[in-house]
Structure 1
Amino acid sequence: MRILAIADPHGNYSSIEAMLKQAGKIDAVMIAGDITNFGPDERANDLIDMFEQPVLAVPGNCDHTSILEVLDSSSGINMHNNMVTIDQITFVGIGGSNPTPFCTPFELEEEEISEKIDQLVAKAEDTGYPIVLLTHAPPRGILDDVGDVHVGCHAFANHLDKVKLIVCGHIHEARGIIKNCDTVIVNPGMASGGSAAIIELLHSNGELEIHAKLIKV
């Protein structure tokens, strides 16, 4: 499965067509939040409708919680607190972010995130397939530096040994690909600035191989 991963378009979708052209053949799209820039919610449809492939999306902290209704009725798949299995890979998702200093519209307490992700991962493990986590916020301590401060989510870090891949965003200056424990973490960078990632998921001898690269248009 070949995936185009984007994050943080913030309502600016001007680079999407160029991303698709550079990406070539893809099987799915993952959107890691901040789809809009504090609304309007309906802009999510404008983005999702740009893709012919299946779209898995979570909102970010700069989206209003009401965007969940738009995602539910869109042609994409609302992955917030949701699970879907595609090609013997189980995808789970949590949108919004852990608390920030800015009191943005879609923030969840760590305890709530922990409860949601614990339940999702437990349910996903029952499928017996490798697990991919789509979030907006990164796991604590990985691709989450703002200056010399870590601002990621503890609840996601607690599942590094259980999920094979985390696609996240949120921290604009932390674009990158890191492997920690047995988990690959990808922050594609700001889609509003032309950044994205291509992720290939390959089944090999009962294992899931993950090959990720960053692209820029």
Structure 2
Amino acid sequence: MKILCIADETDPLIYSKNLASRYGYVDLVVSAGDLPLKYYEYVISVLNKPLYFVFGNHNLEFLTQFTSHANTINQYGYADGKGMMQFLPAFGGDYTDGKVVYDKKRNLIIAGLGGSMQYNKGRHQFTEKEMFWRMCKMIPHLLWNKVFHGRYVDILLTHAPPLGINDDVDRCHRGFSTFLAFMDWFKPKYLLHGHVHLIDSNANRYGVYKQTKVINVFQSFILDDPSLGKDL
């Protein structure tokens, strides 16, 4: 399986008329956040492939439309609870933040935990305890996957990195120990994150934690793994 991974900054190689010729071979797209929905809309419309995404701590214009329990959301918009329909960009992406999603066609399980460490009480920032609780709410679905699919999850899609792996020393870019617990318990093959910008194109993107490969997908990255998405 070949996955186009994007995060944090728009990539001129993607946001171009040559997108289809460069990346038309991918099976799907995932985003680790901090990108505008219009960018997703362009990628989906050109590649005609599914896109799974989480929110980061920037580009949060439509965050509440996705996170409010009072709103009913579809690909066209959401009900604002007052009998009015508010319209979202018709980007067609699958919101995966705080969810466990099974792509049946590709036999792929993706769990999403977006947001960053709380550093200025901004939106979509979490304390360690809050992130741990968000993970705990996924446990029933993950256990169900183990019973019916033989594994808990294939990919954990986050915005922030795990603590001590690809993270930084400042509070904003510090990783979550919750993600270490997730990898201990549910053994995803990959943890894909963004948030930590790679200014040097030769900077290391990779880390390993036990059975999980941790990859910083800043801007864009192709994950090529034939063992993912095996035929049912």
Question: Normalized against structure 2, the TM-score is what?
Answer: 0.70
AA partner of residue 172 (structure 1): H
Aligned residue number for residue 217 of structure 2: 188
Deviation at 1:78, TM superposition (A): 0.3
Match of 1:108 among 126, 133, 138: 126
Aligned residue number for residue 91 of structure 1: 110
Aligned-pair Cα RMSD in Å? 3.0
Tell me whether 1:176 sits opposite 2:176 in the alignment: no
Aligned residue number for residue 69 of structure 2: none
* Number of residue pairs aligned between Structure 1 and Structure 2: 193
The 1:143/1:21 distance shift into structure 2, 3 A limit, reads: farther
8 Å contact from structure 2 (residues 173, 195) kept in 1? no
Deviation at 1:22, TM superposition (A): 4.0
Match of 1:77 among 94, 115, 126: 94
CA separation in 2, counterparts of 1:66 and 1:145?
28
Aligned residue number for residue 118 of structure 1: 136
CA separation in 1, counterparts of 2:58 and 2:51?
20
Deviation at 1:141, TM superposition (A): 0.7
8 Å contact from structure 2 (residues 2, 26) kept in 1? yes
8 Å contact from structure 1 (residues 99, 108) kept in 2? yes
AA partner of residue 12 (structure 2): S
Identity of paired residues, percent? 27
Tell me whether 1:64 sits opposite 2:46 in the alignment: no
Structure 1 or 2: more strand by fraction: 1
Aligned residue number for residue 167 of structure 2: 144
Aligned residue number for residue 213 of structure 1: none
CA separation in 2, counterparts of 1:169 and 1:176?
10
Tell me whether 1:165 sits opposite 2:182 in the alignment: no
AA partner of residue 221 (structure 2): A
Deviation at 1:46, TM superposition (A): 4.4
Deviation at 1:188, TM superposition (A): 1.7
